[in-house]
Amino acid sequence: MHTTEALSPTLELAFELIRRPSVTPDDLGCQALMIQRLERLGFRVERLPFGDVDNFWATHGHHGPLLAFAGHTDVVPSGPHVHWAYPPFEPCIDDEGMLRGRGAADMKGSLAAMITAVERFVSASPEHHGRIGFLITSDEEGPAVDGTRAVVEHLRETHERLDYCIVGEPSSTSRLGDMIKNGRRGSLGGVLHIKGIQGHVAYPHLSRNPIHQAMPALDALVREHWDAGNAFFPATSFQVSNIRSGTGATNVIPGEVEVVFNLRFSTEVTHEQLQQRTQAILDAHGLEYRLDWTLNGEPFLTAEGELVDAAVAGVEAVLGQRPQLSTSGGTSDGRFIAALGSQVVELGPLNASIHQVNERVRASDLDDLSRIYEAILQQLFANGSARP
């Protein structure tokens, strides 16, 4: 097992970040480490605390298009440390070359790779074309209200333009760089309350069982053909995630049932259309109901453009392989940034162990990831090739 001897600059910074148990929304000095490195390069840093959340926005350069690196310093709880092979907040590199610790993959490893990539690029090209930004939050794994969402609103109010954005979420599946996320499906949640009439099971004619009423309507919603998807997105999916009802007694017909569901949707349909069609199906089944909606995120897609081209070329240059473009997986903070009209991709290490006990990532992958980020900067800015 290796600890801190002969670490690369990227791994050394990853160690420093992982040592801080920054469970949402606590940052515990992670951002201060990053800010110190960026200010040393000449970045202008704006600290943006909102509520209990630490955020910062930093920029370097004076003209041309802006590429922002986006990410989060917060991590999910580790759970009981006894279940970990190594303490979750004492990073180490095991005998198989794996960097272990909470946040190694999601996403302190990416943050370290971003910082060292920019350090090399700016040192080599201090008068580079274009602008480089960092949008960092400590509220991605939690409610995601006072983090990137709030920073994006601040940037909108100050008329800051983000042309390109790389989100460091762990996008790879089998090997580093095999997949780049160039979009995400939208997420629309609903809580459905169907009202019945409570009564004794021996006298069903005096009651109205809301569970029985719910089943045909839910079956219709599950079977509904919402859309066929497109070349980048699968078809929209309706999934029931929870059903709650009853008093706990076997001889009581319940008076209400609560159904929690989610729609993951493509760019072929809007959340307003999904709401209208859902309510039409419920109305057709004659239900007495209340429906509360939560829009967790709109779908976004960067189908083509300078950023996708540069990201693909960067992976090919460093790893000699062509990545696949995908919109699979859950939501990310990219959904907030895309709302600014930015080209957005997600590119990071393997996601196999994220949020798990014994989270880990191959240590050499972080050095390669840093080189990929640097190659993207060179593709976009070193020769002034990006469009203003």
Residues belonging to the active site: 74, 140
Q: How far apart are CA 100 and CA 360, in angstroms?
A: 4
Fill in the DSSP letter of residue 236.
P
Cβ burial of 85 (10 Å; 0-12, 13-18, 19+) is exposed
SS3 at position 270: coil
Cβ burial of 332 (10 Å; 0-12, 13-18, 19+) is buried
Q: Nearest-CA neighbor of 314 among 232, 253, 381, 258?
A: 381
**Integer CA distances (angstroms), 279 to 118, 292, 370, in order:** 50, 11, 48
Contact 184, 335 (CB under 8 A): yes
Cβ burial of 225 (10 Å; 0-12, 13-18, 19+) is exposed
Fill in the DSSP letter of residue 381.
I
